[in-house]
Structure 1
Amino acid sequence: MADASGVRLVVVHPDKEVLAQAAAARLLTRVLDVQSVRSPVHVVLTGGTVGIATLAAVAASPLVPAVDWSNVHLWWGDERFLPDGDPDRNETQAREALLDGLVAGHGLPAANVHAMPGPTSVATPEEGAAAYAATLAEHADGAADGVPAFDVLLLGMGPDGHVASLFPGHEGLAAQGTTTGVHGSPKPPPERVSLTFDAIRAAREVWVVAAGAEKADRVAAALAGDPVSEVPAAGAVGQARTLWLLDLESAGATTPK
């Protein structure tokens, strides 16, 4: 459950397509709301089927021109340690779905897209994690936790309950600081870079987006507050709000006849 400083809200949508559309509308509205009171805006993106579908839905929304993209910074919760441009990188998929269009046509500065380094520029996941931690700190405005005040941090959840690249029973769960290099991931590829729980929990709002019946058991376990060592998603909480965006199947429900 969310920590004492925040609240938790669970929203269930009819199917994964509606979920992606609703998450996109909610994200754009949240960015606009934040821009009315402060600047810049920091958003952490996620990959996965629903995560990328959400970004594609953002790209198609009539609200896109209403956002001042010049003061939006985009980050990632994790990344596969693969070369730049690899089709399996979250960054590559996000650029194709949304980001390249925002840079080309809506004033998003290319420098505001903060991709996690891979083997194109660093030798190991640890070097990538260290480089990303340094970039985070540059935008942390002196915060002691070393990360920007993320306005929205999006996370997908795997069927095993993992979030970012923090897997059940894996040593990465106990990583200190803001980022960690991951080896031996049970989901390929084995090498990754990930935010830690310290960084995730520093976000103002954490949104966990999940779809599919294969995730229902882990969703229920996370919401019941099972140990983070068994269900990492249970530890993904925001300072002000934790939002679970689900479809009927991942919520353990069936579509009405």
Structure 2
Amino acid sequence: MYTRVVRLDSAQDVSRAVAERLLSRMIELQRTQDMVHICLTGGSTANDMYERLADLAEGSELDASRLQLWWGDELFLPATDPERNSQQAISRLARTVSIKSADTHMMAAKDGRKDSQESAADYEAELGETSFDITLLGIGEYGHVAAIFPDHPSFEPTSRAVIGVEDSPKPPSERISLTIPTLNRGDETWLIATGAGKADAVRRALAGDESIPAALVRGRNASYWFLDEAAASGLPAQHTCTF
């Protein structure tokens, strides 16, 4: 397993680079396997990337019928709430990428469920032993990934693959999240961070500070960190590479 840091000028450059790389990698994987499993993330940079990916996918070799989409975390909100990570991603991708609903594995919404724990149990059953070809993750200013926060019950060891998160440090207070061992079932993990507010978390994670969740997520084969200059500002100059 190796780690590479990709340092780019701006958040827009990060979105562009991840979109281009993701499309290329999915097409490459489809040449050697029947189905490609991608674990998606939320956030403004990710949403910009999904917009760009939709543009790039149109007319490309990508076979949407051979994609399985999953999510690393979700807000425990009604199914039609536009703030849900899955709603934001699919509304952008669906412009050009026609993925069947059965292949779009959204986390169970708040509708008809008593709490986030019930939603987490439903998703754990659906996920089973699935592993991901690529896991996309944003890095939060607290050093959190998905809905796993430092100094919080979500970061405590558990045998569960998916957990309900209550009293989240970021609103809304209820969320659903894959646990770190589940996130680490991916062959490749792509971590995305933009903005100066993420610089300290990025520095600590890459230095191996295990008090923050971002330091503990890694791909089985490779981990890539896509950073803009602001998010990478706490790193030494040698922490950089290009594809």
TM, length-normalised to structure 1: 0.88
Contact map agreement 2:5 2:224 (CA 8 A) in 1: yes
Equivalent residue for 2:79, pick from 76, 84, 88: 84
2:209 is the counterpart of 1:214: no
SS at match of 2:56: coil
Q: 1:103-151: per-residue Cα shift (whole Å, max 9, x none)?
A: 2xxxx212111000121142211111110011111xxxxxxxx2x2200
Contact 2:58 2:97 in 1 (8 A): no
CA distance in 1, matches of 2:112, 2:22: 31
* Aligned equivalent of 1:250: 231
Which digits, 9 at most, give the CA deviation of each residue in 1:71-99, with x for residues without a partner? Answer: 10000000000001112110111122113
Measure how far apart 1:209 and its partner are.
Answer: 0.4
Measure the CA separation in 2 of the matches of 1:192 and 1:125. 6
- Deviation per residue, 1:212-234 (Å, 9 max, x gap): 0111111000000002xx32100
Q: Is the 1:28–1:63 contact (alpha carbons within 8 Å) kept by the matching residues of 2? A: no
Shift of 1:100: 5.6
Distance 1:253 1:198 in 2: 27
| Pairing 1:190-201 to 2, within 5 Å after superposition | 190-201=173-184
CA RMSD of aligned residues (A): 1.5
Counterparts in 2 of 1:63 and 1:102: CA distance versus 1, 3 Å = closer
- Cα distance in 1 for partners of 2:176, 2:107 equals 7
**Aligned with 2:45 (options 41, 50, 57):** 50
- SS class of match (1:42): strand
Deviation, 1:101, is 4.1
Residues 111 and 14 of structure 1, relative CA distance in 2, 3 Å threshold: same
**Which of residues 99, 103, 124 is equivalent to 1:133?**
124
Letter in 2 for 1:98: L
Structure 1, unmatched stretches of 5+, are: 1-5, 138-145
**What residue identity is the alignment partner of 2:226?**
L
The one of 104, 112, 116 aligned to 2:107: 116
8 Å contact from structure 1 (residues 28, 64) kept in 2: no
Structure 1 counterpart of 2:188, which letter? E
Offset from partner CA, 1:222-250 (integer Å, 9 cap, x none): 000002xx321001111000110100110
Give the superposition deviation at 1:190.
Answer: 0.6
- Picking from 128, 136, 143, the partner of 1:154 is 136
- The percentage of aligned residue pairs carrying the same residue is 38
Residue 165 of structure 1: how far off its partner (Å) = 0.0
- Check conservation: 1:182, 1:191, Cα contact below 8 A: yes
Q: Which moved more, 1:56-65 or 1:235-244?
A: 56-65
Residues 1:202 and 2:180 are matched in the alignment: no
* One-letter amino acid of the counterpart of residue 29, structure 1: S
Amino acid at match of 1:52: N
For the residues of structure 1 that align with 2:81 and 2:48, how far apart are their CA atoms?
Answer: 18
CA distance in structure 1 between the partners assigned to 2:57 and 2:189 by the alignment: 25
TM-score w.r.t. length of structure 2: 0.92
SS at match of 1:66: coil
**2 CA distance for matches of 1:188 and 1:99?**
27
Of 59, 64, 68 in structure 2, the residue corresponding to residue 69 of structure 1 is 64
Match of 2:161 in 1: 178
Aligned to 1:163: 145
CA distance in 1 between partners of 2:12 and 2:83 (Å): 22
Residues 244, 63 of structure 1: CA spacing in aligned structure 2 closer, same or farther, 3 A cutoff? farther
In 2: Cα distance, 1:155 partner to 1:118 partner: 21
SS in 1 for 2:225: strand
Letter in 1 for 2:108: P
- Between the two proteins, the alignment pairs up a number of residues equal to 234
